[in-house]
């Protein structure tokens, strides 16, 4: 399952130390945020659908993470934009 998450978030495994560190980070973040990896994946897919209506993005390089500091949790998304669309898919469906 960790390999799947690493592939989804575009991270390369270079050593067992990095794998263990990333695994621990994922477990801690998900425990503190009370969000399952499956729910985070669904959130990422929904973000891709919505943002793709307005701009062309590099889905393979997209990263979505939950960061915790003190008592707060933040959703952090790194979304590489290839180009802006002239009109949204939503506008095309309406008109």
Q: What is the pLDDT of residue 82?
A: 94
Q: What is the pLDDT of residue 84?
A: 92
Q: What is the pLDDT of residue 21?
A: 78
Q: What is the pLDDT of residue 50?
A: 92
- Maximum Cα–Cα distance for the chain, whole Å? 54
Report residues of the chain scoring pLDDT below 50.
13
Domain containing 61: what range? 2-94
Q: What is the pLDDT of residue 13?
A: 47
Q: What is the pLDDT of residue 14?
A: 56
Whole-model pTM: value is 0.53
Q: DSSP label at 55?
A: E
Across 67-91, b (16+ Cβ under 10 Å) vs e yields: eeeeeeeeeeeeeeeeeeeeeeeee
Task: Work out how many domains the chain is built from and give that number.
Answer: 1
């Amino acid at each position: 399952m960790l390999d799947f998450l690493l592939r989804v978030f575009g991270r390369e495994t270079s050593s067992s130390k990095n794998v263990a560190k990333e695994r621990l980070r994922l477990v801690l973040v998900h425990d503190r945020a009370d969000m399952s990896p499956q729910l985070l994946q669904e959130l990422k897919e929904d973000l891709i659908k919505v943002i793709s209506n307005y701009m062309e993005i590099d889905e393979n390089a997209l990263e979505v993470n939950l960061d915790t500091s003190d008592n707060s949790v933040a959703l952090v998304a790194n979304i590489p934009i290839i180009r802006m669309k002239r009109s949204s898919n939503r506008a095309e469906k309406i008109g």
